Structure formats: C-alpha cells, structure tokens
Structure 1
Amino acid sequence: MTRAVAQDRYLNQEFGLIADFDGPIADVSERYYRVYHECLDQIQSDETSVRRFSKSEFWALKRARVPERTIGERSGLTPEQAQKFAALRRQLVHSQPYLKYDQLIPGAIAALERAQEAGIELTLMTMRRERELAEALSRFDVGRFFPPERRYCMGDDAVKTADTQDKPRLMARAMTELPSYETLWMVGDTEADAIAAASQDIHFIGVLSGIRDRPSLAAHKPQQIVNTLSDAIDFLLTSSLAPRS
C-alpha cells in the first residue's frame, strides 16, 4: 500500500501515538558517556588502575542493564569506590551541564512530520522534568509536534521513585485526559515504557535507538521491535492501517 493511501485511511480514524523522548527522539549516549568519564575522574585515586571503556563498550553495558556499580568495578574501581561512582552518576547524569550533549536521533524529525501529515495525534511522555523537557524541545525544534496539553513529564519539584513506577502513573493520568482513540500505540526504548503501555492495554513498539538492547525489550513482549522511530512510523503506516480483506 502506498503512503498516500495510508494517510487517507488515517484521516478517517482516531489514531494516537504516545512517544517517549529519550531514545526514540533524543540520543543521550554522549551525555551518559561524558558523565561516566567525569565520575571516574572524581572517584579514582592515585592507587587505582582505571581501565576506561570505549563509548561503544560503555553503551553496550548500559543497554544490557549492567548496574552502575558493576560498570565502575569493571573499570577498575574498588567496591567502595564503585558505590561512590554510582551515587555521583545519579547526581550528575540529569544535571544541566550535561544535557547539552544530547543529540537528535537521525530521522526523528522526518518521522514526526510523516506521522503528523498522516493525521496521527502525537503525545509526548517522558521522565524528564519540565525545565529539562522545555529546553530540549526548543533546542531540537520538536515542540511544534507536541502541544502543551500533549506533553506528560515530571514536575520540576516532583519526587521521583523509579521509572517503572512513575511512568505508569503518568500514563494513568494521560488516559483520563487524552481523547478516547479508536487505536492507540506507544513507542519507547525501556522497560518503563513497556510497563506503562501494558498498564493501560496500549500496543507497544520498542525501539533499539535508545538505552535498552533487543533482549531487554523482548522480555516485555512488545508488539514490535524496530531500530528507530522512523521504522516505527513506517510500521504503523504500512501495517496497522493496511486494508484488511
């Protein structure tokens, strides 16, 4: 089926897509890697023989859900140093000086444009705080795809617990405020996204452009696993909306 036909069908349906920000739209790997180096710089001692992972090695560990303390120990830190390393990482990774290293996932803007042109109503759901999200939306010029009433994030002063708890709460709130779509999907890159979608019986597409690898996503039984947001939009346009005989 051609894309034009898919778009015509979309315009005759109430179709919604909830997208995570980090992973499908923003690449956070450089930020995480720079924080990794900063934490090693601050925690290592003269007696410590540190072996720094390359970016690809480090990101593979993160995507496989290897704990921060383990990454620290594998980098040559003592168990005590690794504990401090993990605590410092939690303190720095979402701080303002490092957010500037985030980059757009290639093809994300074009994918959002295709979705919007097809009549898909887009909603954003992220664990970023309001001020962090506002800066990123402006810098990457993606706020135009998500009206303020279609943005779900953590408040600047909200107390975070765990993503796998906080995101389902955001999703529950969204379900009381969003239209009752005939068809609704979510695209994300983590177990928190999958759990949030499942909590409301929403179809979930996992993307491999973020912080989890295929086995980590597959464990949560998504309807589909694709490489990028662009692939997810293609899947929705060509599969979900294809005429059924």
Structure 2
Amino acid sequence: MISLFLDFDGTINDSSLRAYESYSMATKRLGGIPIDYQGFLLNKRNGIEKSALLFRSGIEVSAVDMFDNYVLSFIEMESCLLLDRLYGWSLELLSAFSELELKLFLLTSRRRSDLLQRQIDNYFIREYFSEIFVESDKAAFLNSQDLESTCIIVGDTEAEIVAARRARISCVSVSWGMRSRSFLSALNPEYLVDDFKDLLEIIGKKAIRKEQ
C-alpha cells in the first residue's frame, strides 16, 4: 500500500494571507513599512532572499533574527489562522484520495498542535488522515533515510524535493502554493503539476501500479 505524505499549508490549505499578515505585523513592530500583498507573494513564490524583502520594507538586514522571531510568534495566532482557507477543490481531492488504496498522512510545520487540530476539525477533514505530523515530527520525517519505496511526498516548496531525494522516494511538487512553477522547475522535481487533477492522476496511476 502506498503511503502518501501531504503537506498542509500551501498544498491544500491557502495560508498566503496569514503569511502576509504575520510579515506585516513583524515589519511594523520593527518600525518598517510592509510592501503590498501582491509584492510580498511575488517575493515568496520566487524565493527572493529575505534580506531583499527586509530592505524593501525599510528594515535593517541585521534585524533578521528579530524579524523571524516576531513572524513565528504571530503566524500561529488565532486571529491570523482565521485568514486561512482550504482551496476550493481540496475536499474533492481528499475524497478522491480516500477511494484509492493508500494511507494518507498530513505534514505541517505548525508548532501549536492544539490550534492545528481545531482548524482541521473546523475543516471537517480529520477523517481523511491516518496521522498528522507537526513541526518536530515533520522535521524528523524530512530528514529520514529509512522511508519505504512506496512512500510519496507532495508539497509546494523545495523542502519536499530535497527530502524525497535524500530518502529516495517519489515527490510531486505543486505550483499553486508558496513557490512558483519557475522556481520549482529549476530544482528539477520528479513531478511538477499545476492542477489538482494532475496530482490526482499521478497518485492514482501509482496506486494502481502498486496493486498490480
């Protein structure tokens, strides 16, 4: 049976407004002026160096550690989490996965497990996942060398590509999250999709092949 590890934020959950809000709050706390949402998203999706973002926001590059700490303290605040939304097709995708012969696991870099569990309950998606890996568990998974060849990881950033290569498992990169198609393509991922239906097709074919 295939084990499918699905990244949460950026892959099935649109967290871009929350990311922008936490950036804006951190920037203002340090006396800077946030750039607009579209500019911020363009920076994130193209993997622009954080130093360039700080410069554009009027913050000294030397304050990067303080900036990061502020972002981490804001990004999982309940008021920020309310900005998240499942993508319109996410429930359709999860439902389709549940009909395949696979075990589905959720990966996230969240630290507040209690707030994550509440959000998942509010989305009514808990039933789809065999297990949920939060920050420390996800880090251990991404650094694992002992994953089986039947594992597949799906995500929207370079982290999943690197982890899959290290563990010698399949990876499907999606272009609708926090990294753009051009950014991900430059990393030569095994699969790169622009639509959830393409993702479902790839996983479906792998599941059928495994049964045979």
Q: Which category of TM-score, normalised to the shorter sequence, fits these structures?
A: 0.7 to 0.9
Alignment correspondent of 2:167: 200
Written as runs of structure 1 = structure 2, the 5 A alignment for 1:222-233 is 222-233=189-200
Do the aligned residues in 1 keep the contact of 2:171 with 2:190 (CA within 8 Å)? yes
- Give deviations 1:63-102, integer Å, cap 9, x for gaps: 1222334212113x14268645444223322334322211
Written as runs of structure 1 = structure 2, the 5 A alignment for 1:1-245 is 14-44=1-31, 50=33, 52-75=34-57, 77-79=58-60, 83=64, 84-129=66-111, 130-147=113-130, 150-154=131-135, 167=138, 169-171=140-142, 183-237=150-204, 241=208
Farther-moved stretch of structure 1 (209-218 vs 199-208): 209-218
- Give the distance between the partners of 1:115 and 1:35, measured in 2 at CA: 32
RMSD (CA atoms): 2.9
Farther-moved stretch of structure 1 (32-41 vs 58-67): 32-41
After superposing on structure 2, the runs of 4+ consecutive aligned residues of structure 1 that deviate more than 6 Å are: none
Change (3 A) 1:81 1:40: farther
Secondary structure of 2:192's match? Answer: strand
Secondary structure of 1:122's match? Answer: strand
- Give deviations 1:149-168, integer Å, cap 9, x for gaps: x222235xxxxxxxxxx745
Shift of 1:56: 1.9
Do the aligned residues in 1 keep the contact of 2:27 with 2:59 (CA within 8 Å)? no
* Matched pairs, number: 208
Percentage identity across paired residues of the two chains: 25
Gapped runs of 5+ residues in structure 2?
Answer: none
Counterpart residue identity of residue 198, structure 2: D
Do the aligned residues in 2 keep the contact of 1:68 with 1:86 (CA within 8 Å)? no
Task: Give the TM-score normalised by structure 2.
Answer: 0.82
- Give the distance between the partners of 1:191 and 1:235, measured in 2 at CA: 19
Task: Give the TM-score normalised by structure 1.
Answer: 0.72
- The structure whose Rg is larger is 1
- Give the distance between the partners of 2:196 and 2:7, measured in 1 at CA: 10
- Give the distance between the partners of 1:40 and 1:172, measured in 2 at CA: 32
- Give the distance between the partners of 1:226 and 1:112, measured in 2 at CA: 17
- Give the distance between the partners of 2:110 and 2:15, measured in 1 at CA: 12
- Give the distance between the partners of 2:125 and 2:145, measured in 1 at CA: 20
Do the aligned residues in 2 keep the contact of 1:18 with 1:125 (CA within 8 Å)? yes
Do the aligned residues in 1 keep the contact of 2:3 with 2:103 (CA within 8 Å)? yes
Secondary structure of 2:109's match? Answer: strand
Do the aligned residues in 1 keep the contact of 2:10 with 2:16 (CA within 8 Å)? no
